Structure 1
């Protein structure tokens, strides 16, 4: 429930901190005192559209903070967990800041969030219902979900949605497969020619780079052979370098004993040089053997390289992509060969999902009819006390044509009303007058409150256009609803105001040369005077005070 609302620099409100309690809280005040500003402020904290005009003149920003105390297991906690927002002691604090240039920031428990997340959280916490509100229960698109929630049909509706999704996804797969096969059939001759051509070419990934390197090497082959020959000649000139090294070793070895160890390092170095020279000569011979300067070989390399590159240009892929392209073409041909089997499988799966959807949707349809009958009965039972004993609330469940089926089932749900016997029923938001509409919505709220997860409901002048016994009946129904939910009501009706557990008075006054809105909690005599004012106007009479005492149940 809403525990506290703190407002700073919003239009006529400079600073305001309001504490709210369980049960029914009524807010009264003269027209223009700032009741709508209070609602706009609460809406701002819940994610409503920001407007720079809300910032009080002379200030650079406005802010609204709402604090909620929610029961364990409330659905909003799951949403907050998904957003990694921490909750302590089941307390939720939402805050909105709007600057004078119209920009706004949103916070939940001091963590910055998007306006969308703030709005989603707000929808879980508070529902604001105004007399001419075109959202909520007045929006026909919400009627189906409202009925499902009241009838505890949410899980059944989700099952229908799952079957619908499976059916539609299979239909998309079928359409895609049919398109692929149709295209493949149109291109079959070309595909078979391409596969035959690529199969003969037999491209291998990485082959182009290898061939290009070999071609480059072969283009310089004569120079490489000449270099190897020159090196070999230099090492073999005369008796050869190896013979010279071995001859030097023999000269030193003959005098080794006389050298007293001084020749040993020289002999070892010459021995190593002889070994390395031998390795070099073998390497030169191997390199000469590896070099294939046959002009036919170079031509073969170039022919293969140019064939790969030509095919790559023809099929508009890199040369390394030819191998995969060939496999893709083969798959397309296989689709022609096995496509009919795949199409048949998808058709069978689609028919199965369609049947599952229809069966579950028909069960949901029947369950909705039963739930609608129970809900209509409960709502119609609320109408006589609201002085609408001739009116009827009717939930219409209309079967749809197949082309109108959707994830919500086979039917459309619409709340309709008949305000007079014999009059045809019509849409709730078109048939009822302002006063009637308020009472229909109140009856709906009383019935739906038993299944709603929203802990706080706000009514803006739900008693507009009614008075006397009807206003008293509205007050009684609000009092009944407040036993299950926290209710905040902005009212001009003394009969409604007298039913409040908490009474807040909104007044406008001049402070330091500027108009400001103030809110005071009224108790005892102050409350009596406010209700007397609501009954009599500015000139409060003894009769008005006596009537106020009667409404408040005070002794005469």
Structure 2
């Protein structure tokens, strides 16, 4: 609820402070006094675009501030806390400074914030029903939200949103998996071809090194044979198939052993002879090993085949190595990955079935929501039409059309296209709301809609037209009345355009009825409307040395009677004063 509005250097207003009533407040004054500037001030603190041309001439900037009280648990309070602020004694301060040149500055509790935050907060705090502001309700989304509030379909709406959210999550997973499927097929083909390639080569651990050694022996066979032959000729020529007269090591060792044994001295050369025998045994073993190296069978091999095999192994190592062991390890992991990929079509099919089930559940929930909306739309249209008749718009009417789209056009809000069609006078075609009436007619239509919504809920609607539960007021005989801080602020401008006489009285009465459950601020030229207000402020022109300015004063007692008399007859004669007193006395619910 708006507890205080302060304005400085905005248009003709030099300085003004208003403390609206919690119920109904009337703002009156002569034409051109600047009543619209108060609405502009509220628009500024609600995040509306700033216009530097409205800064008072000769001043560097204009400034507006609204003090709002919030109840615990209010949506606006949660938004304030999410932005990192704490209310002061249950109040928040929304302010806007507009310089003569440059950008405006938005403040929340004295700290600079984005202008968008003021706009978000105002959605929960203020609804302006003026000529330009009616266009907001022309939005199909706003109309749908209003209808949902009137319908009281919170449970159906929440059930649908749960189904819709689940459907969105599953469809996102399905789309992601489907996108991956093409890549997965290519990857599976690659793994399959790679595994087949490795299997065709069939590498064995250490095979590449063994083949390289074999190749080296074959390539150097002549040098190896020459070296071994020379060594054997020196060590034991008997192992060679050639006649060699030169002594060999084996022969010389044998001669040395025989020479020592021929001495015939027992035990003298026994140790030496044993050592010579041992040397001869080692030599024999060495000669045998060397002789194997010149075995023709050990020198044989197809060098081309060996090189081809080494090439195949090197190719595998270059792609999946760097070693044969790494290649074999990669092949084993690739087999596991391939088996996992081969199961993905089944997962895709299972996920598709889950999506189908979720869509079916969402459609069912959307249809239940649509039934509730259609019934509420009919009731809303009928009740608003009755209210319009009481507001001097006999023959005017509102039709709420709820049409279901095709199942394929399901969206976050269900299946319904909601349209408010307004007939401003008998014989007029039904036209979309917002493009079919004057500002005054639209203001009265909005009043009728807000009254209908409040009557349906027993409390005042919010911007989304849902309201926290209200408390019973003993003073109201048990009538539902919202607790302090829960009251939405409705501002009506031009609601009295083209209205007079008895219809004006009925208009004031309807505003006062709405003010039982919401804070109502009305800018009016009609005494029959202003007389219903709990508090009245008058804007008056004053002429100074530099420029004309506007003062804003609350009127009470005799001053209010005089203002009502002026609005009735343009004078303060005794007759008009008597009429004013009578009007004020009769303007009570």
Structure 2 length-normalised TM: 0.68
Contact 2:460 2:518 in 1 (8 A): no
Deviation, structure 1 residue 33: 1.2
Superimposed CA distance per residue, residues 256-305 of structure 1 (whole angstroms, 9 cap, x where no aligned partner): xxxxxxxxxxxxxxxxxxxxxxxxxxxxxxxxxxxxxxxxxxxxxxx9xx
Displacement of 1:443: 0.7
Q: Tell me what 2:7 maps to.
A: 7
Q: Deviations over 1:463-508 (max 9, x none)?
A: 1122222222111101111111111100112211222221111122
2:502 equivalent to 1:497: no
Distance change >3 Å, CA 324–CA 441, structure 1 → 2: farther
Going from structure 1 to structure 2, the CA distance change for 1:326 and 1:97 (only over 3 Å counts) comes to farther
TM alignment of 1:126-165, pairs within 5 A: 126-165=126-165
Distance in structure 2 (CA, Å) of the matches to 1:138 and 1:324: 68
Is 2:444 the counterpart of 1:439?
A: yes
Q: Does residue 392 of structure 2 align to residue 349 of structure 1? A: no
Structure 2 counterpart of 1:385: 390
Q: How far apart, CA to CA, are the structure 2 residues paired with 1:395 and 1:311?
A: 70
Say yes or no: does 1:514 pair with 2:547. yes
Residues 434 and 465 of structure 1 are in contact (CA less than 8 Å); yes or no, is this contact kept in structure 2? no
Report deviation, 1:432: 3.7
Distance 2:189 2:72 in 1: 68
Query: CA offsets per residue over residues 390-447 of structure 1, 9 Å max, x none?
Result: 3332221111123432111111122223345676533232334444323221111112
Aligned to 1:170, what secondary structure does the other structure show?
helix
* Secondary structure, aligned partner of 1:383: helix
Alignment partners' CA distance in 1, 2:330 and 2:559: 87
Determine whether 1:552 maps to 2:584. yes
Counterpart-to-counterpart distance in 2, 1:27 and 1:327: 85
Structure 1 residue ranges without an equivalent (≥5): 202-302, 313-321
Match for residue 192 of structure 2?
A: 192
Instruction: Quote the offset at 1:330 in angstroms.
Output: 6.9
Question: How many angstroms apart in 1 are the aligned matches of 2:142 and 2:332?
Answer: 52
Does 1:119 find its partner at 2:119?
yes
Whether contact under 8 Å (1:131, 1:462) holds in the other structure is: no
Give the Cα separation in 2 of the matches to 1:93 and 1:366: 42
Secondary structure of the residue aligned to 2:371 is helix
Is it true that 1:413 corresponds to 2:418 in the alignment? yes
> Who is 1:429 aligned against?
434
In the aligned structure 2, how far is the partner of 1:375 from the partner of 1:348? 40
Aligned 8 A contact 1:23 1:483 in 2: yes
Whole-angstrom distance in 1 between the partners of 2:329 and 2:568 = 87
Shift of 1:554: 8.1
Partner of 2:343: 338
Q: Any residues of structure 2 matched to 1:85-100 within 5 Å, and which?
A: 85-100=85-100
2:561 is equivalent to residue 528 of structure 1? yes
Partner of 1:233 in structure 2? none
Q: How many residues align?
A: 447
Mind listing any 5+ residue stretches in structure 2 that lack a counterpart? 202-310, 321-326, 462-466, 468-486
Instruction: Give the corresponding residue for 1:297.
Output: none
User: Alignment RMSD, CA only?
Assistant: 3.6
Q: CA deviation at 1:347?
A: 0.9
Q: Secondary structure at the match of 1:86?
A: coil
Q: Deviations over 1:520-546 (max 9, x none)?
A: 112233323323333344x66665445
Q: What secondary structure sits across from 1:71 in the alignment? A: coil
| Structure 2 CA distance for aligned equivalents of residues 356 and 128 of structure 1 | 39
- State the alpha-carbon separation in 1 of the partners of residues 505 and 344 from structure 2: 73
- The question of whether the paired residues in 2 share the 8 Å contact of 1:416 and 1:426 is answered with yes
1:507 match: secondary structure: strand
**What SS class does the counterpart of residue 127 from structure 1 fall into?**
strand
Write the distance in 1 (CA, Å) between the matches of 2:96 and 2:329.
56
Aligned 1:273-292 pairs, distance under 5 A: none
Structure 1 residues 526 and 413, CA, compared in 2 at 3 Å: closer, same or farther?
same
Counting only pairs closer than 5 Å after superposition, residues 216-255 of structure 1 correspond to structure 2 as none
Residue pair 1:51, 1:102 contacting (<8 A) in 2 also: no
Alpha-carbon distance in structure 1 between the residues aligned to 2:331 and 2:59: 71
